[in-house]
């Protein structure tokens, strides 16, 4: 009988369903309500949203570390929490892998003992064979006998990942697991994680607001804002054309402009808008608006071109004359502040800065493609 | 010197009992979300502010033949609990309770709760989390609690005098002995014992600070 059940589970893909409402009381500034309904299929789903959106709270509810007043959480047909049925499995019995924002390694145990902690039910021999494999899968086998205080942040994060996945979890929750790591290390860990899940096909809920991680990992993005799911879809649909202003900030759109619709050219699929408080006009993709409506536009600073002479013969429809107000260095990127009716932020490379011989106060032109302008809701 | 050994014996028994009683009590205080918790905390802390004679007086009343508890004890053991070594232990356990419980509560509460969450998600029972994560990480607090209850019991005077009286070899502890010597103007004998007590207290406190410094130094180590 038990074998039949296992066989059935093997055929039926894993699935995590969650509907829950969680209220945090307290003073009004801190009050918060989470209200979500979603399901996860095998593969990595990105949970994306600005800080304070409720991402970590949601993960804690699924793991059973928080007990929302109203909830129905079902994993592969097994009820983990059903407030109507008064069923609540404690975190110990949910068999989930959960990696917090901090590695939370047990400081008095070695890396090896940390990974083995969740394998208490196995025999000594089984543990001895499983732990080295896990450490090797995340390339930290050389740290086996070190204490958490003796390893780097990135290494600690890998050990924590190995520990979370050691217990053969049925679903995995990862809360910004690669925060603060450099790009090369990130993509190595991402590859290891993908390889690990290739044969297991578990649902993985992965919290991040890093654009590169979304591009590398996500098959699906769930966007959370102020406790509710505001969008769900492919990474491209959510992050390249975010429909919410707050989400646009989180997705890295540096320019947010307020404008009034001047006229609609439905046959061309565009409309013209005039920026608030100036005469500058922009052509943007046609949106659901009428003449006179106030709209919000988001533009990535990296999507705007900067020219020192007025450009001609370009396909781009928006060429704005302005003045370079200031230059600021941010690593290999130079942030230019350009006053062209409204203030635009433009990112250019150090090389571009040198070859254009830019200096503050100079006259410049901005080139913005129509489809680089995204309409967002307030 | 008989009184010094009596005090050391008493303090050792009290420290051992307080460890057994204090650890579960402190665990409960640090974990509970019960609203009435502050009442329990106040009762535990009461000996800190109460004059020892007040505590000793009520203990004497409770142990006496007129209280139900006192009657019960006499019925079982044939004599009252007051003016015995056992009576001293009971009184000292209550008197030193805050010195054991408060360092333990602080130690338990200062363990990062995410570590306990992580252990729970990994399938560890509450008992295993307590035994393998919380207790080892609270070790400095456990040592502090034990040493403080030992030292505090060693130096007590008022409660012992009220509950134990002054019976040589049974309830005459070192602090009462010193008092006796001073009363009879034997300053040399009083000084001998006072110096011994001073050194023991200093050794005990320096142990606490040394241990805490090594395990979780509050200052950055160079």
A113 vs B: CB within 8 A: no
Q: Answer for the pair A219, A44: CB distance below 8 angstroms, yes or no.
A: yes
Give Cβ neighbours of residue B140 (< 8 Å, ≥ 6 apart). Answer: B107, B211, B212, B215, B216
**Exposure string over A270-283, b if 16+ CB within 10 A, otherwise e:** bbbbebeeeebbbb
Q: Closest-CA residue in chain A for B113?
A: A104
CA-atom Rg of chain B in angstroms? 20
Nearest to B123 among A92, A102, A104 (CB): A92
CB A328 within 8 A of CB A334: yes
Q: Is A95 on the interface with B (CB under 8 A)?
A: yes
The proportion of chain B whose per-residue pLDDT surpasses 90, expressed as a percent, equals 47
CB contact under 8 A, A107 and B123: no
The answer to whether A49 and A61 have CB atoms below 8 angstroms apart is: no
| 3-state secondary structure string across A315-361 | CCCEEEEEEEEEEEEECCEEEEEEEECEEEEEEEEHHHHHHHCCCCC
Residues of A in contact with B121 (CB under 8 A): 63, 65, 91-92, 94, 96-98, 164
A91 and B118 in contact by Cβ < 8 A?
no
pLDDT at B26: 95
* 3-state secondary structure (DSSP) of residue A231: strand
Q: Is A8:A76 a contact under the CB 8 Å cutoff?
A: no
Find tokens 């390249």 and name the residue. Answer: A240
pLDDT at A32: 82
> Exposed (0-12), middle (13-18) or buried (19+): which is B185, by Cβ within 10 Å?
exposed
User: Helices B85-109 and B139-154 sit at what angle, rounded to 10 degrees?
Assistant: 150
The pLDDT tens digits of the residues spanning B103-112 come to 999 999 999 9
**Minimum distance, in Å, between the CA of residue A231 and any CA atom of chain B:** 29
Shortest CA gap B215–chain A (Å): 11
Q: Per residue in A328-368, pLDDT tens?
A: 887 778 889 999 888 899 999 888 888 888 888 899 999 99
Chain B hits for A108, CB-CB cut-off 8 Å, are 136-137
> Hey, is the C-beta of A98 within 8 angstroms of any chain B C-beta?
yes
Decide if pLDDT at B217 tops 70: no
Q: Which of B115, B125, B137 lies nearest to residue A104, judging by beta carbons?
A: B115
Q: Nearest CA of chain B to the CA of A92: how many Å?
A: 4
- CB contact, 8 Å: B119 with chain A? yes
Residue ranges of chain A with per-residue pLDDT less than 70: 1-11, 26-30, 218, 241, 250, 378
Please list every residue in chain A whose beta carbon sits closer than 8 Å to the beta carbon of residue B124: 92, 117-118, 120
Chain mean pLDDT for chain B: 88
Longest dimension (CA), chain B: 67
B201 pLDDT above the threshold of 60: yes
- Kindly report the length of chain A: 378
Q: Buried b / exposed e across A325-347, counting CB within 10 Å, b at 16+? A: eeeeeeeeebebbbebbbebbbb
CB A96 to CB B114 under 8 A?
Answer: no
The whole-number pLDDT of residue A26 equals 67
User: To probe the interface with A, which of B117, B122, B217, B221 has the most A CB atoms within 10 Å?
Assistant: B122
| Inter-chain Cβ pairs, chain A and chain B, closer than 8 A | 56
- Which of B116, B123, B134 would you mutate first to test chain A, the one with the most A CBs within 10 A? B123
- Given a cut of 70, whether residue B220 has pLDDT beyond it is no
Record the tokens describing residue A262, joined without a space.
Answer: 């001047």
- What span, in angstroms and rounded, lies between the C-alpha atoms of A110 and A95? 23
Q: Which of residues 81-110 of B touch A (CB under 8 A)?
A: none
Q: B136: which chain A residues are within 8 Å (Cβ-Cβ)?
A: 108
Task: Catalogue the long-range contacts made by A190-199 (C-beta closer than 8 Å, 24 or more residues apart).
Answer: A190/A216, A190/A217, A192/A137, A192/A138, A192/A139, A193/A44, A193/A161, A193/A217, A194/A44, A195/A137, A196/A137, A196/A165, A197/A43, A197/A44, A197/A172
Measure in Å the smallest separation between the Cα of B123 and chain A Cα atoms.
4
Of the listed ranges A167-171, A229-233, B42-46, B191-195, the one predicted with least confidence: A229-233
Closest Cβ–Cβ partner in A93, A100, A121 for B118 = A100
């Amino acid at each position: 009988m038990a074998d039949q059940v296992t066989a059935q589970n093997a055929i039926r893909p894993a699935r995590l369903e969650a509907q829950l409402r969680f209220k945090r009381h307290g003073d009004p500034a801190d009050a918060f309500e989470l209200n979500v309904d979603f399901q996860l299929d095998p593969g990595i789903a990105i949970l994306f949203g600005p800080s304070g959106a409720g991402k970590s709270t949601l993960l804690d509810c699924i793991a059973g570390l928080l007990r929302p007043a109203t909830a129905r959480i079902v994993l592969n047909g097994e009820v983990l929490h059903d407030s109507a049925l008064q069923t609540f499995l404690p975190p110990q019995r949910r068999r989930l892998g959960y990696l917090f924002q901090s590695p939370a390694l047990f400081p008095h145990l070695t890396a090896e003992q940390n990974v083995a902690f969740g394998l208490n039910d196995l025999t000594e021999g089984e543990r001895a064979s499983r732990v080295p494999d896990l450490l090797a899968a995340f390339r930290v086998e050389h740290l086996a006998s070190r204490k958490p205080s003796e390893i780097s942040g990135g290494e600690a994060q890998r050990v924590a990942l190995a520990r979370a996945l050691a217990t053969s979890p049925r679903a995995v929750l990862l809360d910004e697991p690669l925060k603060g790591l450099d790009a090369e290390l990130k993509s190595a860990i991402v590859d290891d994680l993908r390889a690990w899940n290739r044969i297991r096909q578990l649902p993985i809920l992965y919290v991040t607001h890093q654009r590169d991680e979304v591009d590398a990992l996500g098959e699906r993005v769930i966007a959370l804002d102020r406790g509710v799911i505001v969008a769900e879809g492919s990474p491209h649909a959510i992050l390249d054309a975010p429909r919410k202003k707050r989400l646009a900030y989180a997705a890295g759109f540096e320019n947010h402009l307020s404008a009034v619709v001047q006229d609609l050219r439905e046959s061309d699929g565009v409309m013209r808008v005039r920026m608030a408080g100036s005469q500058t006009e922009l052509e943007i993709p046609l949106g659901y608006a009428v003449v006179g409506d106030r709209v919000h536009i988001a533009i990535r600073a990296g999507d705007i071109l900067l020219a020192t002479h007025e450009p001609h013969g370009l396909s781009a429809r928006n060429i704005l004359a302005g003045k370079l107000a200031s230059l600021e260095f941010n690593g290999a990127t130079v942030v230019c502040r350009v006053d062209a009716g409204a203030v635009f932020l433009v990112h250019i490379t150090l090389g571009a800065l040198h070859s254009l011989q830019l200096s503050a106060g100079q006259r410049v032109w901005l080139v913005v493609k129509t489809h680089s302008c995204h309409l967002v809701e307030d | 010197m008989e009184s010094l050994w009596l005090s050391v014996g008493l303090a050792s028994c009290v420290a051992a009992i307080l460890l057994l009683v204090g650890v579960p009590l402190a665990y409960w205080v640090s974990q509970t979300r019960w609203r009435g918790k502050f009442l329990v905390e106040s009762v535990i802390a009461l000996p800190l502010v109460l004059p020892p004679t007040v505590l000793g007086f009520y203990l004497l009343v409770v142990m006496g033949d007129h209280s139900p508890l006192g009657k019960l004890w006499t019925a079982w053991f044939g004599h009252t609990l007051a003016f015995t070594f056992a009576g001293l232990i009971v009184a000292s356990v209550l008197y030193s309770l805050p010195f054991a419980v408060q360092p333990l509560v602080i130690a338990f509460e200062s363990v990062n709760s995410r570590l306990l969450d992580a252990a729970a998600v990994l399938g560890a029972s509450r008992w295993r989390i307590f035994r393998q994560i919380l207790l080892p990480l609270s070790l400095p607090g456990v040592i502090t609690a034990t040493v403080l209850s030992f030292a505090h019991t060693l130096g007590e005077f008022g409660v012992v005098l009220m509950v134990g009286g002054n019976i040589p070899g049974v309830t005459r502890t070192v602090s009462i002995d010193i008092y006796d010597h001073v009363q009879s103007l034997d300053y040399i004998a009083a000084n001998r014992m006072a110096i011994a007590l001073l050194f023991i207290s200093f050794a005990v406190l320096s142990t606490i600070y040394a241990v805490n410094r090594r395990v979780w130094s509050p200052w950055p180590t160079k």
